[in-house]
Amino acid sequence: MGIRINGIVIDANDLDLLAEFWSRLLGLAITRREDDWISLGPHFAMQKVPEAKGVKNRVHFDLVADDFPQAVALAVELGASPVGEMQEDLWQVWRDPEGNEFCICVS
């Protein structure tokens, strides 16, 4: 018996907003669109849910940027906000437009 991760899914209230944010931040094309689901590439998607995010994520993405200042500028342009300062000169925690935490890390 084998078990594998088929994909990562983020819950979203505003499906189009979140899909646009992650699509542009990661350079992933929208590959599937339904009323309550948008896929970006083969293994990443957003699904529409009625409830708002309530607490800190227990799981998050660590994104590695070839150009940290450029990645940070793009994240801000797309609606992300920083959570505190740079840590150990290696990473910074951010929130996407719906408050989901992720890290941008120095390459």
Question: pLDDT tens digit string along 69-98?
Answer: 999 999 999 999 999 899 999 999 999 999
Instruction: pLDDT band for 99, please (50, 70, 90 cuts).
Output: very high
Instruction: pLDDT band for 17, please (50, 70, 90 cuts).
Output: very high
Burial of 83 (0-12, 13-18, 19+ CB in 10 A): middle
**DSSP secondary structure code for residue 20 in this structure:** H
If one looks up domain 8-106 in CATH, what number appears? 3.10.180.10
Number of Cβ within 10 Å of residue 33's Cβ equals: 11
d(CA 92, CA 85): 6
Domain-wise residue ranges, the chain: 8-106
Q: pTM (2 decimals)?
A: 0.92
